[in-house]
Structure 1
Amino acid sequence: MEKLKTYSFEEAYQDTLKYFGGDELAARVWVNKYAMKDSFGNIFEKSPADMHWRIANEIARIENKYKNPLKAQEIFDLLDHFRYIVPAGSPMTGIGNDHQVASLSNCFVIGLDGNADSYGAIMKIDEEQVQLMKRRGGVGHDLSHIRPAGSPVNNSALTSTGLVPFMERYSNSTREVAQDGRRGALMLSVSIKHPDSEAFIDAKMTEGKVTGANVSVKIDDEFMQAAVDDKPYVQQFPITGNKPFVKKEISARKLWEKIVHNAWKSAEPGVLFWDTIIRESIPDCYAELGFRTVSTNPCGEIPLCPYDSCRLLSINLYSYVVNPFTKDAYFDFDKFRKHVQLAQRIMDDIVDLEMEKIDLIMEKIGTDPQNEEVKTTERHLWEKIKRKSGMGRRTGVGITAEGDMIAAMGLRYGTEEATDFAVSVHKALALNAYRSSVTMAKERGAFEIYDAKREEKNPFVNRLKEADPELYADMAKYGRRNIACLTIAPTGTTSLMTQTTSGIEPVFMPVYKRRRKVNPNDTDVHVDFVDEVGDSFEEYIVYHSKFLEWMKINGIDTTKKYTQEEIDALVARSPYYKATANDVDWLMKVKMQGAIQKWVDHSISVTVNLPNNVDEALVNKLYVEAWRSGCKGCTIYRDGSRSGVMISVSKEDKKKAEHKEAPEPLTTPTPEHLHAEVTEVRPKELECDVVRFQNNKEKWVAFVGLLDNYPYEIFTGLQDDDEGIMIPKSVTKGKIIKQTCDDGSHRYDFQFVNKRGYKTTVEGLSEKFNPEYWNYAKLISGVLRYRMPIDHVIKLVSSLQLKDESINTWKNGVERALKKYIVDGTTAKGQKCPVCGHETLVYQEGCLICTNCGASRCG
């Protein structure tokens, strides 16, 4: 491999900061998530321009295999500054990156043919799920094939446990693999017809259960109509066929009310309108050829058949508004149509690049040291994925910045006028993506099993036919390159870098406060939503880039610091007024989603965000309207339904919160309650966890002394120091023993039991590390001993101003070692999600998870 130039984090950060025009948050996100790195943390790109050239050159290489190839410069011009075309995270990090063996696909669905109701089948799916997640893929699978609780089984258990224990199994596997920066996102679904669907719906209502998965229930039209009409509904197992061995009649209305109540209370389960999905699905025209849709990816925007996958790309709609925020604003449909056709072409090239990546993955499996018996499942998994992906060449062209586009056009999100305009844009998107796919079929060949006869009754295809008869005639003649083309996915951190709002979501409040730099050398600037005035460390400035553009166009000073009242007055004058999540007409938003859905062949990932005070009747009304409007799915978040899901920023809400009644006493005390009592005299022996981690090329180790399973002290440093702490890798626990020496001084020894059962003692643990580490560790151990909550300890460690780079590495290691002791679900107070900007971060297995948009950050 050619030796590439490397850059320090600071070099890359400064160049990227210039690229983003001084936007610190966007710069940090890009360097941390998307700059090409190796497994040792070496950075090989200094700004997004390098990344875009990497991607452009690779796509141009694929283009040269076909007629009329695009040049690298043309592709780069579409990508540069995230202005027009924005590949999703997996393609952005993986294309042209030889330093990792990972898939370019964002989404996978898995599932076995035939009878999959056995422990062997259940465990095989578990392994396949983990194998995909370790390659950076989000996974979905359906549980409708598992027999309901109480059913007879031919093993020692005699009866089945039902769905819920297996939900926990798959959830725990996700949590296990999604550590140290690896991605793990899971969707579990089940048919409403399954007799255990009620238990499935209730599973996440128990705190701490099934925390590693999103759950959605697949609802058919018959059930929805029975729920609306208050009529009975028959559940059965198996869920299809005329000879079920379990059958029961239920009240559809009562089960529907439970779904609505749980969604109102906890934001889950999501609802998938399954008959609409199957009816509209073009791939399901080829169901008996292996393309029968069974579940969706974790965000719900890609319904997939088993072992198919999808790569994603977004088109930045804001960039097609000419003269934005003025009376002369218009949408450049000519440029948009041209770019959509190019985007579809680029997506098809990325399918070829994915085929190459899968070959590399299988090559890697072939050279792994494990025996063939161990490697068989993983190899066969990727063989199935390659076959299915190559057969259908499925793509996911979508959009971002719809909210900003609407505002820039002078329209108000949620109005009929705005919805009509948005539908016209999505119609143009669909027609031109399919036009491009037909053109590629003529030049490159159609997807392997294309058959116009199979598709002639598909509603989506018939909409295309009605809107553009010439397109349909060409499609029937030449075929189509891709089995399906379109989706609307949550664009996450890419929206941050395009400095736009995400997907078709309404715009969130575009006015932020920025914490002033206390230390001139401190580049860590914390960005938060506006909520109050008066803190001497805070100044109020406008941060949302499109809002800034509106201010400049209207001659408003963008450098001035504003009071809250002045900001409120500015927002009230802007196109973003009444366009925040809590302002929009929710019913109109659902109707807008349904109207747009008619021009999206896959699905739309979108949530309806509601204030805390709405009742269950409104949730019910929105779900029913979503079904009637033709939405393929719907997820509802009510402010406070999950800790930190939607944080209101108004003073009025803040005052209400201050006068809330005291919460009920906890029935099960949390560790913070259990360990509120301070134990000043250290016991002679403490149980200990050994936590190993790697920072850059250095191997580190931490010994965390525990009192009643709660951190009491910490020792940490380089594992490969001169004197070394040579302990077997299998050792993860032991004891720290305080010894008194003859001269009255103290030392700390680490004792563990080896595999043969013999005790081994490493003496002078405190002397094994750099003395400066030890001094800082004593400080941290002191606050642990006095029971400062772990998340506060981590915040304290993070705030330490340390000049020496090795000490900063030590600091990062301490944070990492302690994060595992934070109780799952603990809110990261004062921290905002870098993706969606909400104060909705909670700790889960030591990682920060955003309960609003699903973004995660580990390590």
Structure 2
Amino acid sequence: MESSVLTKKNATVSMETANAATLKYFNGDDLATRVWVNKYALKDSDGNLYEATPDDMHWRIANEIARIEAKYKNPLSAQEIFDLIKDFKYIIPQGSPMTGIGNNFQIASLSNCFVIGNGTDSDSYGSIMKVDEEQVQLMKRRGGVGHDLSHIRPKGSAVKNSALTSTGLVPFMERYSNSTREVAQDGRRGALMLSVSINHPDAEDFINAKLEQGKITGANISVRIDDEFMNAVKNNTEYTQKYPIHSETPRFSKTVEAKNIWNKIVHNAWKSAEPGILFWDTIIKESVPDCYADLGFETVSTNPCGEIPLCPYDSCRLLAINLYSYVENPFTKKAKFNFDLFKQHVAYAQRMMDDIIDLEVEKIDTILRKIESDPESDEIKGTEYHLWLKIRKKTLQGRRTGVGITAEGDMLAALGLRYGSKEAVDFSVEVHKTLALEAYRSSVKLAMERGAFEVYDSKKEAENPFILRLKNEDPELYKLMQQHGRRNIALLTIAPTGSTSLMSQTTSGIEPVFLPVYKRRRKVNPNDKDVRVDFVDEVGDSWEEYIVFHHHFKTWMAANGFDTDKNYSQEEINGLIEKSPYYKATSNDVDWLSKVEMQGAIQKWVDHSISVTINIPNDATEELVNELYLKAWEVGCKGVTVYRDGSRSGVLVASEDKKEDKEGVKLHSTFPTKRPHVLEAEVVRFQNNKEKWIAFVGLIDGRPYEIFTGLADDEEGIMLPRWVNNGLIIKNRDEKGNSRYDFQFKNLRGYKTTIEGLSHKFDPEFWNYAKLISGTLRHGMPLENVVELVNRMELNLESINNWKAGVARALKRYIPDGTNAAGKCSNCGSEQVMYQEGCLTCKSCGSSKCG
């Protein structure tokens, strides 16, 4: 077994050693260092590190894949695999595979994403709760989850329980969203996609559900739109919604003006980047797995970022090929793309992905053994156990893979092609066509060596548009596939590559460069010698700002004789950018319609889907969003997301009457400093060091106005039913005339129940600190700064530190998507926050939040 000198088996590494060694590995790139050490270095549950640099991780992965290779003909060696994945240069396992392969400290899946569902039209409470539990069980194993709500009966429908009528979709959206927020995944929250058919009578409620502040904050939402609806929009005609959807004999139907609903989708997307759109007829028509719909492979929803449409209980693992590394003599007149090496590596990538499926089955077997050994009764653990059995079965039946790419923007720039130009689009299409042909060729060869996926049937696929494209381009490949089958039911995707691109030091996924030159912030101690303080923020921290060049912009500078160490003025930087192939090719520069057309053209060669964002400026109109969405449908995109600069957080400011402070932070002009008698309140529950805690958050216009936090469910704490999530905080007086805060909620019979004197239920020290924090909230301090203030409090008692962590955790859920209204990063305060591939990513600190 190969390993670095630093980390022999079972040897731990100090954080200092890992940081220093990895910083050297990344040539001084502290952001890439931070991302790898914090997210991907092998560590146990106590935080002990076992890898010093990514070399150690790559040997861990190479050894495990080589172990699987040894089971088959013509195996690759660990050294050959290591050479393909080292330095993030060519082939990059993404996310869960990178973290989980060879990791025996976690019992977790290698799959990045799952879709679940009942596989029936049942919408009983039992089936809805079952999906909720399955979602949580998958998220605790590190997977992102998607499921569709089209089977739930519309609001007002008759039900045979005490409610008499159905509540519709939105309450269940909230349930699934809240469950997502409760699950921790190695320091991050889970990721969820909720979808619904436009044919559902509650589709408009679904579309509007996230407009209310604090609602559905744990999920992305997308609407499944069919061609009939799009034609009705185009022709300004009526459209019929039904339940069950698409039924010949629906129990309920209504006729709507398609254009009115479409305008609402466009308006909400313009305002908040949601809902996303899934062009469902295109997805189903193009889907190769849907040729096997009668065998359980009918696509029902997508993963959280939309790039993998899946059937119930199927999953996918992701891997990216670094396109930049196939450009020889980059940024020179001799620049050339090495198609021969690329073809060879695509074949290896597909082979490694198939090996990872075998590793995933081993992981699933470990999960099943863990569940079997758990002390709970079979009744309690039955849902989880049968969930993983179903996933195991689907994994082996289809052996689905997710080979994708990163660094498209850098590849084009290195070849002297401007992103978005016709020449660039044509070249990108050629690259992706080559990728598709070679991946399918590899899968056919694997079928010859290892056997085809279980349900392969060439007749079922004979009329599939994607398969026909392959046949047209390469008849010999098609003939071989008919004869031998292929190893994998579907192979390709273009997924988000946020942290992957930071470690490969390239542009992300299919996206253009965000900015070729930008500022980054570093927190400094102003008392240290030889430090520069550029500004002091609202909570008193000192920051230094410094110029950062995008890695391959710097490569271009060096290749063209520009000094990369010089301290350039802004005017000189602007001049450099104008001379570079990155000029007019950033995410905000690229012509939006051309980007949509590029996505549609590349989509023809991707059998799953593409995660991509169309970035438009803040002053863009709703008509532009409308035009982009229509164009996306016309050119064959399977889905599309439009992000208007600054819109993601702005929608969550509930009051329309706003003013701006001198820093540009939007505040409520009516936010009272004198505490009202009654406040709406939400209950937030969480766990710190195995202790159960509870927070009562008083709200005005959905924004935290006060917070009281303490231990829950102990002799001296708060005894509150688990189903209570909201109520009122009422300020009263006790017999002695002292202020008293009561919490009032409605019980299951609808009667008001009051818990008197929250102040007497919590530790006095918790209460005093809570009053202090509430004072900062009441006077309008931005939430991210309040959280920062709480985190910086130096408290000695462990119980107080637990309280501090709880307050920060409870307040963070009200910070829209991890950003504030000014578009700053909640982690480091930088304004270099971009929205790409369905995720908000900070270019200063690497913090990334999907959704």
TM-score normalised to structure 1 length: 0.82
**1:7 correspondence with 2:13:** yes
Any conservation in 1 of the 2:600–2:632 contact (CA below 8 Å)?
yes
**1:445 correspondence with 2:451:** yes
Aligned partner of 2:243 in structure 1 is: 237
CA distance in 1, matches of 2:458, 2:509: 32
Any conservation in 1 of the 2:272–2:651 contact (CA below 8 Å)?
no
* Residues 1:453 and 1:15: Cα distance change in structure 2 (over 3 Å): same
Aligned partner of 1:287 in structure 2 is: 293
Any conservation in 2 of the 1:704–1:711 contact (CA below 8 Å)?
no
* Residues 1:568 and 1:677: Cα distance change in structure 2 (over 3 Å): farther
Question: How many residue pairs end up in the alignment?
Answer: 779
CA distance in 2, matches of 1:600, 1:488: 8
Q: Deviations over 1:454-506 (max 9, x none)?
A: 11101100111111111111101111000000000011211111111111112
* Residues 1:411 and 1:119: Cα distance change in structure 2 (over 3 Å): same
Aligned partner of 1:325 in structure 2 is: 331
**How many Å apart are 1:39 and its aligned residue?**
1.1
**How many Å apart are 1:257 and its aligned residue?**
1.4
**How many Å apart are 1:206 and its aligned residue?**
1.7
Aligned partner of 1:684 in structure 2 is: none
**How many Å apart are 1:407 and its aligned residue?**
0.7
**1:584 correspondence with 2:590:** yes
Q: Deviations over 1:205-261 (max 9, x none)?
A: 222211111111111111111110111111111113311111222211221111111
Aligned partner of 2:349 in structure 1 is: 343
CA distance in 1, matches of 2:347, 2:532: 40
Q: For 1:93, what is the secondary structure of its paired residue? A: helix
**1:60 correspondence with 2:66:** yes
**1:415 correspondence with 2:421:** yes
CA distance in 2, matches of 1:369, 1:476: 49
Aligned partner of 2:788 in structure 1 is: 795
CA distance in 2, matches of 1:47, 1:711: 44
Aligned partner of 1:491 in structure 2 is: 497
CA distance in 2, matches of 1:217, 1:49: 42
* Residues 1:624 and 1:833: Cα distance change in structure 2 (over 3 Å): farther
Any conservation in 1 of the 2:600–2:635 contact (CA below 8 Å)?
yes
Aligned partner of 2:849 in structure 1 is: 856
Aligned partner of 2:809 in structure 1 is: 819
**How many Å apart are 1:855 and its aligned residue?**
3.0
CA distance in 2, matches of 1:4, 1:730: 43
Please show how residues 161-560 of structure 1 align to structure 2 within 5 Å: 161-178=167-184, 181-515=187-521, 518-519=524-525, 538=544, 540-560=546-566
* Residues 1:514 and 1:142: Cα distance change in structure 2 (over 3 Å): closer
Q: For 2:146, what is the secondary structure of its paired residue? A: strand
Any conservation in 2 of the 1:512–1:528 contact (CA below 8 Å)?
no
* Residues 1:515 and 1:257: Cα distance change in structure 2 (over 3 Å): closer
Deviates more, 1:551-560 or 1:474-483: 551-560
Letter in 2 for 1:856: K
* Residues 1:629 and 1:690: Cα distance change in structure 2 (over 3 Å): closer
Letter in 2 for 1:855: S
Please show how residues 442-841 of structure 1 align to structure 2 within 5 Å: 442-515=448-521, 518-519=524-525, 538=544, 540-643=546-649, 673-674=671-672, 693-694=688-689, 733=718, 789=781, 791-796=784-789, 814-815=804-805, 817-822=807-812, 824-825=814-815, 827-828=819-820, 832=825, 839-840=832-833
CA distance in 2, matches of 1:290, 1:297: 18
* Residues 1:217 and 1:690: Cα distance change in structure 2 (over 3 Å): closer
Any conservation in 1 of the 2:62–2:81 contact (CA below 8 Å)?
yes
**How many Å apart are 1:857 and its aligned residue?**
9.9
* Residues 1:67 and 1:264: Cα distance change in structure 2 (over 3 Å): same
Deviates more, 1:43-52 or 1:238-247: 238-247
**How many Å apart are 1:593 and its aligned residue?**
0.2
**How many Å apart are 1:821 and its aligned residue?**
2.9
Aligned partner of 2:752 in structure 1 is: none
Q: For 2:222, what is the secondary structure of its paired residue? A: strand
Q: Deviations over 1:802-826 (max 9, x none)?
A: 9x9x999997984564332346135
CA distance in 1, matches of 2:661, 2:760: 52
Any conservation in 1 of the 2:526–2:542 contact (CA below 8 Å)?
no
Any conservation in 2 of the 1:341–1:433 contact (CA below 8 Å)?
yes
Aligned partner of 1:652 in structure 2 is: none
**How many Å apart are 1:517 and its aligned residue?**
6.7
Any conservation in 2 of the 1:513–1:527 contact (CA below 8 Å)?
no
Aligned partner of 2:744 in structure 1 is: none
* Residues 1:141 and 1:256: Cα distance change in structure 2 (over 3 Å): same
TM-score normalised to structure 2 length: 0.83
% identical aligned pairs: 61
**How many Å apart are 1:616 and its aligned residue?**
1.3
CA distance in 2, matches of 1:450, 1:568: 56
Q: Deviations over 1:546-580 (max 9, x none)?
A: 11111111121212222222222211111111111
Q: For 2:454, what is the secondary structure of its paired residue? A: coil
Q: For 2:348, what is the secondary structure of its paired residue? A: helix
Letter in 2 for 1:330: K
What's the C-alpha RMSD, in Å, of the aligned pairs?
A: 4.2
Q: For 1:314, what is the secondary structure of its paired residue? A: strand
Letter in 2 for 1:643: S
CA distance in 2, matches of 1:300, 1:96: 28
Any conservation in 2 of the 1:282–1:458 contact (CA below 8 Å)?
yes
CA distance in 2, matches of 1:520, 1:662: 25
Any conservation in 1 of the 2:90–2:321 contact (CA below 8 Å)?
yes
CA distance in 2, matches of 1:797, 1:156: 45
Any conservation in 1 of the 2:649–2:823 contact (CA below 8 Å)?
no
Letter in 2 for 1:585: D
Any conservation in 2 of the 1:831–1:841 contact (CA below 8 Å)?
no
Q: What 5-or-longer segments of structure 2 have no aligned partner?
A: 1-7, 536-540, 653-658, 677-682, 721-754
Q: Deviations over 1:123-169 (max 9, x none)?
A: 11111111111111111111111111121112222221111111111
Deviates more, 1:819-828 or 1:607-616: 819-828
* Residues 1:213 and 1:510: Cα distance change in structure 2 (over 3 Å): same
CA distance in 1, matches of 2:527, 2:87: 27
Q: For 1:455, what is the secondary structure of its paired residue? A: coil
Any conservation in 2 of the 1:541–1:559 contact (CA below 8 Å)?
no
* Residues 1:403 and 1:189: Cα distance change in structure 2 (over 3 Å): same
Any conservation in 1 of the 2:709–2:803 contact (CA below 8 Å)?
no
Letter in 2 for 1:824: Y
* Residues 1:489 and 1:838: Cα distance change in structure 2 (over 3 Å): farther
Any conservation in 1 of the 2:709–2:806 contact (CA below 8 Å)?
no
**How many Å apart are 1:542 and its aligned residue?**
3.2
CA distance in 1, matches of 2:620, 2:496: 25
Any conservation in 1 of the 2:534–2:543 contact (CA below 8 Å)?
no
